[in-house]
Amino acid sequence: MAVEDGLSQNMVYSIMQDKTGFIWLGTLDGLNRYDGTKFKVFKKEKTNTRSIGSNKILSLLQNIDNKIWIGTADGIYIYDPNRENFTHFTVRTAKGDKVEGIVRDLKADKKGNIWIAVQDKGIFCFTNKKELILYELQNTNIRKIEPDSRGNVWVATYGKGLLKINPDSPEIKEFLLDEKEKKISENNINVILSFNSNYLLVGTISRGVQKFDLHEEKFTPLLEKEHDGSPLFVRSMIKTDNQELWIGTEEGVFIYDFRTNDFVNLKHSHNNPYSLSDNAIHSLYQDKEGGIWVGTFFGGVSYFNRFFTQFEKYYPVTGKNSISGKSISEFCEDDKKNIWIGTEDAGLNKFSPITGKFTKSPIASGNIHSLLCDEDRLWVGTFSDGLHVMNLQTQEMRSYKNGASDYSIKDDNIYSIYKDSSGRIWIGSLTGLQYYNEQSDNFRRIQEGIIKNQVNDILEDYKGTLWFATIGNGIFSYDRFSEAWQHYLSATDMPDENTGKSIICLLQDKKNRLWIGTEGAGMGIFNRETNSFSSVITSNTGLPNDVIYKLIEDSKGYIWGSTNKGIFRLDPESMEVVIYIYAFEWIIRRSVQLQIRI
């Protein structure tokens, strides 16, 4: 989200979520409150004494009485959410010192004291007794502060390294990153993170992330350089609720894995509109829902959430125009570009890409298992309610169910509907296969000796051969010209012979390769001549799961599939798999090394 979305300015210095759920964003030009749909911007108003006094917002903190403290380039302002106005913080120390100038950081300790970092002046403590104390650090370029579990407060500086304030002692201790290296440029620290009771993490300009042992009071490197040897310029760090370390740098976000001591790098990509908006990261924040907000220098704020990715999400909501079900089984597109959606819990929906709205079809059945758009007809296969055909012009519906006649459908559980190149409509059901006779308006059953299992998918290949995927009985093929049937009980190269007999889906790609998705044995390419699989892929070699429900090919030649554990995308040439699961986009290479990217 950036200026064009309502953000006041694209340089995001600070991020905070208040107790009511609003996200607050401090920028170079204004304070922003985001409610999930829109921004409200607060700026300095010359004629309003209750407005904020500076537009440069550097730090944010909500205290125990729910008021929001705002560190600006001109001191502190406090926002009262009940009155929706601002007051200038004018409390003074016993000696008359007050908070003025650039307030770099605000933090609260476990006692309820508020610590205030003021550049070139020092660290103030506004105690829980409403007293203001100054720890003077004249001419010190203060960047951030961090209270630890022992009651100390640590100060990140440019030039003086790491400083330690013990409230019970007048001494302020100094720790350089390298005692042998006294150069100011080698002791520039941007951020401190109290990771646990044993050590701090310190983010630097030229030495990446350093661990500072609180017992020995010494630095050791944690992550100093990128894979190519470039030094990390660190501006922000957070520890997420799943114990990941997110590091904001000049080259995007680095996610450090403590188990492997390795990292992945999330960066902006011009070709990917869902990547980070900018590589220069200024701030990081994890909200109550687990989402991570990334404030940048030039690209506004990016939002990363495990439960919402770049996939646009549609779900049932109260009122009109939303999808009616949660369990989606089938899609098809009619000649007017409407998308028909079959659900297993709420019947049939139509989505209009023009209006962005859903309408529910009056079809009686709530459990849809197959769809086919055929010119001005929509064929709908249901579970236990037979086959329905809707005239898309008149909305008239015809229904076909199993009956005493041999020319009725074999049973009322319809799992696949397919139109071949000759115009014939094939119907796969729980107990076999039939096709529709247009002239007599009835069905011709394929004899039980050929196919008697559930037919889950049907496909015609480039030679005109029809393929039928069954549950429990492998694959059947039918040559329409010679009328010859072939049965391939189980592909010999599948890792599990039994699950390899249950074929859920079929796909012919642009290179005429026949892909098979199974119910528990992964997927692969079926060789028609040798009755064997090549390029077999399972959960052991990159897939999220071995149950493959659907396979499709996109315009770039990638194979997309749905499984029990998310959606994946396969590059059929490199065999690289990208898994979309829990809103993460994972890259799994054939060496089964795991990386994350946005």
AA identity, residue 15:
I
Q: What are the φ and ψ backbone dihedral angles of 476, each rounded to 5 degrees? A: -120, 145
Kindly report the average pLDDT of the chain as a whole number.
88
Give the three-state DSSP class for 591.
Answer: coil
C-alpha span between 152 and 442 (Å, rounded): 84
C-alpha radius of gyration, the chain, whole number: 32
Cβ–Cβ under 8 Å, residues 337 and 353: yes
Kindly state the percentage of the chain with pLDDT values over 70: 91
Concatenated DSSP letters of 81-103: TTTTEEEE---B-TTS-B--S-E
Instruction: Indicate if the pLDDT at residue 586 is higher than 50.
Output: no
Residue with tokens 């310190």: 202
**The CATH number of domain 328-552 is 2.130.10.10:** yes
List the helix and strand counts (H, then E) for the chain: 0, 53
> Where residue 588 falls among pLDDT bands split at 50, 70, 90?
very low
Span 565-569, mean pLDDT? 86
Instruction: Indicate if the pLDDT at residue 339 is higher than 60.
Output: yes
Is 531 buried (19+), middle (13-18) or exposed (0-12) by CB count in 10 A? middle
The dihedral built from the CA positions of residue 61, 65, 66 and 69, taken in this order, carries a sign that is: negative
How many CB atoms neighbour CB 182 within 10 A? Answer: 11
Pairing type for strands 465-470 and 475-479 reads antiparallel
pLDDT at 29: 95
Give the three-state DSSP class for 541.
Answer: helix
What separation, in Å, do the N-terminal and C-terminal C-alpha atoms of the chain show? Answer: 15
Cα-Cα-Cα-Cα torsion 497, 498, 501, 502, nearest 10 degrees, comes to: -130
| Three-state secondary structure readout of 99-125 | CCCCEEEEEECCCCCEEEEECCCEEEE
Q: What are the pLDDT digits (tens) for 374-388?
A: 999 999 999 999 999
Long-range contacts of 131-137 (CB under 8 A, 24+ apart): 131/94, 132/91, 132/92, 132/93, 132/97, 132/98, 132/99, 133/93, 134/93, 134/95, 134/97, 135/165, 135/172, 137/163, 137/172
Strand ordering across the sheet containing 442-445: 414-419, 425-429, 432-437, 442-445
Instruction: Indicate if the pLDDT at residue 34 is higher than 90.
Output: yes
Instruction: Indicate if the pLDDT at residue 598 is higher than 50.
Output: no
> Where residue 169 falls among pLDDT bands split at 50, 70, 90?
confident
Concatenated DSSP letters of 373-438: EETTEEEEEESSS-EEEEETTT--EEEE---SSTTS-S-S-EEEEEE-TTSPEEEEETTEEEEEET
The reported pTM is: 0.56
Cβ–Cβ under 8 Å, residues 414 and 370: yes
As given in the structure block, the two tokens for residue 323 are 């999808």
Give the three-state DSSP class for 488.
Answer: strand
Residue with tokens 């051969």: 465
Task: Please calculate the CA angle 83-88-90 and round it to the nearest 5 degrees.
Answer: 130
pLDDT at 581: 52
Q: What are the pLDDT digits (tens) for 7-16?
A: 999 999 999 9
Span 333-341, mean pLDDT? 92
pLDDT at 590: 27
C-alpha span between 4 and 569 (Å, rounded): 32
Instruction: Indicate if the pLDDT at residue 241 is higher than 90.
Output: no
Instruction: Indicate if the pLDDT at residue 308 is higher than 60.
Output: no
Those residues with Cβ within 8 angstroms of residue 169's Cβ, 6 or more apart along the chain or in another chain:
none
Instruction: Indicate if the pLDDT at residue 596 is higher than 50.
Output: no
Q: What are the pLDDT digits (tens) for 441-497?
A: 999 999 877 899 999 999 999 999 999 999 999 899 999 899 999 998 754 445 455
pLDDT at 582: 37
Q: What are the pLDDT digits (tens) for 204-234?
A: 999 999 999 999 999 999 999 887 888 999 9
Cβ–Cβ under 8 Å, residues 253 and 247: yes
Taking phi first (over 0 means left), then psi (-120 to 50 degrees means alpha), and beta for anything else, what does residue 261 get?
left
As given in the structure block, the two tokens for residue 489 are 């009980």
